[in-house]
């Protein structure tokens, strides 16, 4: 009954015990194969006795399908990434794929990792908020491997991407803060090298300029809580500190809140307005009560899945740039204007394959 011999049980062992051919064993474990119930039963019995389970490795070799999707995430301290990964991995598992995970440090070079991923013959690669070198973009393209950037765009339009409308979000926040009567605005950027941060800033600053607002103050928070805390302290130490701060993501907004409320004892929403970007769950907690721009996480993942399905089904599928609308979530960390600006642009619907 037990084995103890370290040689793993193969379909031949099962075949011998069940008194059938090896291919019968294969069929017994294949969904919808033509096989008699009695045979399948015999095989399963024998398999259970021996502790046999089909090897996906051998199967992959012949079917040329690994059932693996490579997922690259930039560390999981940012709850938005953690939430994205969680939702994505569930959805992928649901459709029968397994996730080969790579957690990177934020400034790692992804190329060596991607090289590894490709050797595993993943059927697609999803990069969460990470950038793809043009070299690897080319490598993936020529091996016909679908690549999907989630929460990030790429200059070259050779890979698909899903983002929400960062520029529009930044602009809407400008309108919102102006409507609230704020005088001295500030922006805390993620990183200067990040296109995501730049888009949000561009939308914000351009709209402000259009409306004739004064120039803003600006700091960089390195996308992190700590970085944003330091940035906020610098901002507030100014001779004319801002009365409103827009942070390029929620983590940094919460960092700002921690300094302004926790360290300085100010009341956010009255003494100063803080606005974030992402709408992570934490922002809704009473102690933060963060006004923010919501990125439609569920729709982003749904679109990711739809795009992947399409690319997996049909190779040489054209890359898709999918941009989803977000929306302002009004909570208490920023003053609410008497008359709210109209945010109803014409939002793009989620991508459907």
Partner DNA sequence: TTGAAAGCGCTAACAA
Partner DNA sequence: TTGTTAGCGCTTTCAA
285 lines the binding site for its own copies (CB under 8 A): yes
317 lines the binding site for its own copies (CB under 8 A): no
Among 32, 142, 237, 338, binds its own copies (CB under 8 A): 142
Question: Which residue number, 1 or 214, has a Cβ lying nearer to its own copies?
Answer: 1
166-to-51, 143, 153, 257 alpha-carbon distances in Å: 53, 31, 11, 22
From the list its own copies, DNA, none, pick the one residue 38 interacts with, judged by a Cβ distance below 5 to 8 Å according to partner type: DNA
Separation of alpha carbons 256 and 320, rounded Å: 36
Question: Which residue number, 81 or 176, has a Cβ lying nearer to its own copies?
Answer: 81
139-to-51, 111, 312 alpha-carbon distances in Å: 41, 10, 17
Residues 6+ apart with CB under 8 A from 226: 255
- By CB under 7 A, name the binding residues for DNA: 7-8, 10-12, 20-24, 26-27, 29-30, 34-36, 38-39, 52, 54-55, 58-59, 61-64
Q: 205: closest CA among 243, 166, 241, 240?
A: 166
Q: 128: closest CA among 97, 168, 96, 101?
A: 101
From the list its own copies, DNA, none, pick the one residue 22 interacts with, judged by a Cβ distance below 5 to 8 Å according to partner type: DNA
Least gap, CB of 65 to DNA (angstroms): 9
Least gap, CB of 36 to DNA (angstroms): 3
Separation of alpha carbons 208 and 214, rounded Å: 8
Residue 315, exposed/middle/buried by CB under 10 A (0-12, 13-18, 19+)?
exposed
Least gap, CB of 54 to DNA (angstroms): 4
143 lines the binding site for its own copies (CB under 8 A): yes
By CB under 8 A, what part of segment 60-89 binds its own copies?
60-61, 64, 66, 68, 71, 75-77, 79, 82-83, 85-86, 89
Side-by-side strand order, sheet with 291-294: 217-220, 185-189, 244-247, 273-278, 291-294, 327-329
The residues pairing with 148 across neighbouring beta strands, listed in sequence order, are 126, 160
DSSP-derived 3-state class of residue 25: helix
Give residues in contact with its own copies (CB under 8 A).
2-3, 6, 8, 51, 53-58, 60-61, 64, 66, 68, 71, 75-77, 79, 82-83, 85-86, 89-90, 93, 98-103, 113, 115-116, 118-121, 139, 142-144, 225, 254, 257-259, 261-263, 281, 285-289, 315
């Amino acid at each position: 009954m037990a084995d103890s011999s370290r040689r793993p049980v193969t379909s031949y062992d099962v075949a011998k015990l069940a008194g059938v051919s090896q291919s019968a064993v294969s069929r017994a474990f294949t969904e919808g194969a033509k096989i008699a119930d009695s045979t399948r039963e015999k095989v399963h019995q024998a398999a259970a006795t021996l502790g046999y389970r089909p090897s996906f490795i051998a199967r992959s070799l012949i079917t040329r399908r690994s059932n693996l999707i490579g997922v690259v995430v930039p560390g999981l301290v940012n709850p938005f990434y953690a939430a994205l990964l969680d939702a994505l991995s569930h959805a992928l598992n649901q459709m029968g794929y397994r996730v080969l995970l790579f957690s990177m440090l934020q400034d790692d070079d992804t190329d060596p990792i991607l090289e590894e991923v490709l050797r595993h013959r993943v059927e697609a690669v999803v990069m969460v908020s990470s950038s793809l070198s043009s070299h690897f973009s080319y490598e993936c393209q020529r091996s016909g491997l679908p690549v999907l950037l989630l929460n990030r765009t790429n200059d070259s339009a050779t890979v698909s991407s899903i983002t929400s409308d960062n520029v529009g979000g930044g602009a809407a926040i400008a309108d919102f803060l102006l409507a609230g009567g704020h005088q001295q605005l500030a922006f805390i950027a993620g990183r200067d090298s990040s296109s995501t941060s730049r888009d949000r800033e561009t939308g914000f600053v351009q709209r402000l300029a259009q409306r004739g607002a004064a120039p803003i103050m600006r700091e960089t928070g390195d996308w992190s809580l700590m970085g944003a805390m330091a940035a906020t302290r610098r901002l507030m130490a100014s001779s004319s500190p801002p009365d409103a701060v827009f942070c390029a993501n929620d983590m940094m907004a919460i960092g700002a809140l921690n300094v302004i409320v926790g360290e300085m004892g100010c009341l956010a929403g009255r003494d100063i307005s803080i606005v974030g970007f992402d709408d992570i769950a934490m922002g809704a907690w009473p102690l933060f009560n963060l006004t923010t721009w919501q990125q439609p996480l569920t729709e982003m993942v749904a679109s990711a899945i739809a795009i992947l399905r399409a690319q997996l089904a049909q190779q040489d599928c054209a890359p898709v740039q999918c941009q989803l609308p977000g929306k302002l979530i009004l909570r208490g960390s920023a003053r609410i204007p008497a008359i709210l600006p109209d945010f109803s642009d014409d939002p793009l619907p989620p991508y459907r394959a």
